[in-house]
Structure 1
């Protein structure tokens, strides 16, 4: 009898361990390609860029990550990421300046790259679409695609602390400098390897960095939202205060950073990116913030007759770039200043704001745009103190304020609200 009891207990313990392990085991990733599972540093970029349609497989569920990309393939991927594929589809002819080999595909992308200034006149005449693209050449394409040609020319003589900087052709160093400074190209800390061919796996990572800068939303199919509810096959999210429900396709990848986490990882309040297919089904999910924050959009209104408390606040901060939040009679006022300017023509605009609620704080996040007069503008030769005031209503207490601008300017932030706001 004692032996049977011991056997029964052993079986129970073993089964408990098995079920416990299963409950807490990480989900097994379901990859779009059979040859990317070991590329832990790049698999999320591959899946994301594939979901967005910027990069394709090579057939038979293969991605062929180690294969170098050609110049034509690189241009096609970059132009897709920039949102120009529809423009390319309208083009049927190559530029007359093109003297390269005959092509069975991609003609329109070469023409479009030339029209967009990604390829110059001299480069087009010598362009070999089937040649492997080197890292410094991809850097040049990326920089031009983003409109940083002028910056590249201005920094052509700059030197970065890499052992192989002198291996970059002199007339391209400005492009590599800008690409590194903008975070598009990254070395290993010591070398950039500018003359190495770019592999398909590397191109996926470069495209993700490009996409992060331009934020191509695929005409509404790349959605940033906050999780509201999760069902077996659907996710309901809050987008700009509106609830939307999407079906999630079976085996759609879910990533937190570079880690595959699966759909069960998501919780209410997480901020996520959803990539949808043409039928608005979810095909990719990326966790952007897992701190269970709630993002609340607010409507800003132009203030033409501010109360005295607000005017006094403007006077107090007008000499410096600043953003201040003031509450008066239950209305919130956002003030943005630029500081003392020696002429007129400077404009400041509080473009948008949102409230982010965490478990500890309610944060007002403000975006400010500064506009300078053009060099040939006729402006008033007088000291000015440009500012903008916007108001909004919110039934709650804001505890913090943060601000960002489109210029490299240090902004001070301040908050002046009543303690009895609920």
Structure 2
């Protein structure tokens, strides 16, 4: 027998445990789907349609709900001769500016038409926008433009100003663009420029974290399809749901935990998947998530994390952002890197909080000091320093911090 062999004992069909799996129905999101349906209904009625923004932490069903609703919308629109509808979907995961988003939109339209893509560099932003308007106007009817993880563009929000006004400004004549923005950052809209806020005129749909019972309802039909009968012990699905509910309320996290537990049982040649496998899988996923989250940060994100690690090492936490910003500036000066504004540092702190790396405390001292936030690490300092030491730029600073750790 070789090193690799096909398993016939644990998994019957692992596809329902894959991130790309699209379920036949969306569970425990009835209110959100009803709001979504009302927001999209004007398209069928051939009426002006508001832009739609979905907010919620990762794994709360925003993307899968959007795919579900747009699939139904496209099928139903086909029944009406006077409704023309097209959808363009772009993930902004690795896009940090309106320029990059516009390029991605142009190339997605051209990909569908088997046309040559344009270069990602060499154009002015206005020229890219002009090309985008030309490509859009060659289509007809309502064009739904889905921008997944739109918060990655930060304050470079010109695309959100230009697209909603494209028709009124005469840039397009034949189409009505509708933006569907999907964001993990509840404060994304607050950080937009005033002109963009006034232009968007969007409907907002909030996706709260799932609780344990909701996650059980989501996991059970997937587990029934994914595993052979009798493989899962009775406490496996509830425990996966409980772990995910306590941490982030993420269905994606609960599903990955269930899959990891199954793979662990498979690798051990165990006859059933038990509570032990879930707990072992949880430990492994937590470790991987922690390191991946920190390693994927930008240079500025690492610099902010490094500044907070310094205060954590000196037992000076929780720390206010203005104090943290001074340390951040010192760190940037040490390796001769460009620094960003204090407001942008607060944005990076929000990102770190969303990743579960730090804890944010809101303080309110009334008229004397008003409201402000304080921050501290929510993960072991040693783990943070190990990640920082693995990057050439921060290795020396991380060693210095490690040498000056005060007893907690």
- Whether TM exceeds 0.5 here: the answer is no
- Shorter-chain TM-score bucket reads 0.3 to 0.5
TM-score by length of 1: 0.32
Decide which structure has the larger Cα Rg and report it: 1
Higher relative contact order (CA 8 A, sep 6+): 2
